[in-house]
Amino acid sequence: MKYYIIAGEASGDLIASDLMKELKLLDPEAKFRCWGGDKMQAQGGDLVKHYRELSFMGFTEVAMNIRTILKNIKYCKKDILEYHPDVILLVDYPGFNLRIAGFANKHNIKVYYYISPQVWAWKKSRVNKIKQTVDRMFVILPFEKDFYRSYGYEVDFVGHPLLDVLPEHFEKKVKMNFFERYKLEDKPVIALLPGSRRQEVSKMLNIMIKLVPLFKECQFVIGGEPSIPREFYHKVTGDLNVRIVFDGFHELLQSAEAAIVTSGTATLETALMNVPEVICYKGSYISYHIARHVVNVKYISLVNLIMDRQIVKELIQYDLNVDNLKEELKSLLYDKNYRNRMIENFKSLREKLGSKGASRKTAELMINYIHS
């Protein structure tokens, strides 16, 4: 079977690579051509374009790069027709992938979508396009099945794939090895997770590192995105004593006392590893004000959205400043009741997401649907 897979971000690369691993077990003849990253390539994918060439955030940022985006879409369509896949697997990345779904549908190519676009947050009209162009949707958030059903569209809830790839428990040995490997001091570690795109890393890290001189009893470690050069981070951190980790993201979280996280999948990864966190986001002035008018959700983070209440603090746009970050980090580190309550809520979050095996279940369903 020939699969054409499109993932446009680091989180999609991770999740798609795990799905590819399961598909290979069920379909030994599987061949993959993909848009994604290093993890998908490591699973045997013939990589067309890396997600670092595809990732743009915010309304103004997308508008500024619209020619590049349209050029990529045009090239993708041409490449699909030349490859003749049996099925196209789309992973999140809706602005790009929904256009490809429509194109594939017109050419009678089967389309499966793994990880739903957040149509429940904005552009609910997209549901009609999904119904018309996507053969099967596989959702990972518990409320999404009911959402789609209310529009007369049946989808498969498979559980969250992060449960398959994240370690469940803290291991003292991992922490010891992590400290030794990166020559860390005997101080509590604060993980800084500024995102996976250059523009968000630059914006968010500039704010995050201002905490370094305010918490001298701690050490700050940045979770770096492998596709971004080390020098890019050093331009922001300057002479500050801040370590950067590119190949030990989960080990960093297992060793951290607390984390400061840019809104995105990393907020959920951090929670599932029971690390107290504060969630941050700051966009351009125009992007933020457009978002306020079109996005219809109470929270920005997946953690709070899934729980349907605020269990972690969100510092968004004008609330994201050094004073607010400082006070929240102090609470995460030194208010035992606050820390313990957050960690207990993380356990409830894990239960809400269902059982492990999302990638395996999705692969089995996909294979069954293809053959039926």
Each residue of 243-297: pLDDT tens digit? 999 988 889 999 999 999 998 889 999 999 999 999 998 865 454 444 454 455 5
Domain of 139, in residue numbers: 2-161+357-371
User: One-letter amino acid identity for 74?
Assistant: K
Whether 193 and 335 share a structural domain:
yes
> How high is the pLDDT of residue 289?
40
Strand partners, 46: 33
What length is written for the chain?
372
Q: How far apart are CA 320 and CA 203, in angstroms?
A: 11
DSSP state of 321: S
Whether 197 and 345 share a structural domain:
yes
Whether 112 and 214 share a structural domain:
no
Q: How far apart are CA 130 and CA 102, in angstroms?
A: 9
Whether 45 and 131 share a structural domain:
yes
Give the domain CATH number at 99. 3.40.50.2000
Whether 77 and 123 share a structural domain:
yes
Whether 115 and 146 share a structural domain:
yes
> Which regions in the chain score pLDDT beneath 70?
54-66, 121-123, 168-172, 283-297
Q: How far apart are CA 94 and CA 80, in angstroms?
A: 18
The residue behind tokens 């398959």 is 164
Q: How far apart are CA 91 and CA 37, in angstroms?
A: 13
Whether 150 and 249 share a structural domain:
no
Number of independent structural domains in the chain: 2
> How high is the pLDDT of residue 227?
81
Whether 259 and 247 share a structural domain:
yes
Task: Residue 215: name the closest of 239, 179, 190 by CA.
Answer: 190
> How high is the pLDDT of residue 120?
72
Whether 136 and 239 share a structural domain:
no
Q: What is the pLDDT of residues 128-171, one digit of tens each?
A: 899 999 999 999 998 899 999 999 999 999 999 988 878 765 56
> How high is the pLDDT of residue 288?
46
pTM for this one?
0.80
Strands 189-193, 156-157: pairing is unpaired
Strand positions, DSSP E, the chain: 2-7, 31-36, 46-50, 87-91, 110-114, 136-139, 156-157, 189-193, 219-223, 243-245, 256-262, 277-281, 313-316
Whether 202 and 332 share a structural domain:
yes
> How high is the pLDDT of residue 290?
44
Whether 140 and 17 share a structural domain:
yes
Question: For residues 33 and 5, is the Cβ–Cβ distance under 8 A?
Answer: yes
Whether 194 and 326 share a structural domain:
yes
> How high is the pLDDT of residue 218?
97
